[in-house]
Amino acid sequence: MIVNFTLNGRPVSRDLPPQKRLIDVLREDFLLTGAKESCGEGECGACTILLDDKAVHSCLVLAGQLEGHRVTTIEGLAENGELDIIQNAFIEHVAIQCGFCTPGMIMSTKGLLLQNPDPTEEEIRIALSGNICRCSGYVQILAAVQDAAKQLREVAKA
């Protein structure tokens, strides 16, 4: 079926099998390999992207569900070659080790801060509870999210 949707701000149209998973559409049809597959069952969060500004697991979304929707991947965050505030905060707080979980962590953070610019620590923990990291410390990730939220609030005020 022909599927029309917006990918990282750009309208796209592709002939896709309706049952093809979004993670495979992104990686195979659009060569966007930022979203990672680990569990393939909605348990790990490595494949997280935004669907209409909400963080979802792209291994659980099918091509047939995309018509008219907006998909944002980690590749869609940088502007003019500059990483965005959340990406920079993860680097500054050393919230990354192997980096396999990081695109998903950052997209879950993006989704959270779009809905809730001033989250409590508990709200951050809940928002990231679907993202598993096997090698970094969650303490640094929490600090990165809190710092990014603060910086984004300051930008919004300016």
Q: Which residues bind ligand FES (CB under 6 A)?
A: 37-40, 42-47, 57, 59, 96-102, 133-136
List, in order, residues 6 or more apart from 112 with CB less than 8 Å away.
55, 119, 123, 124, 127, 128, 145
Contact criterion met (CB below 8 Å) for 87 and 78: yes
CA distance 59 to 41: 7
Q: How far is the CB of 79 from ligand FES (least distance, A)?
A: 24
Q: How far is the CB of 104 from ligand FES (least distance, A)?
A: 8
**Helices 102-115 and 138-157: angle between axes, nearest 10 degrees:** 40
Closer residue to ligand FES in complex, CB, 47/152: 47
Q: How far is the CB of 102 from ligand FES (least distance, A)?
A: 6
Closer residue to ligand FES in complex, CB, 16/26: 26
Closer residue to ligand FES in complex, CB, 63/81: 63
Retrieve residue 88's tokens.
């920079």
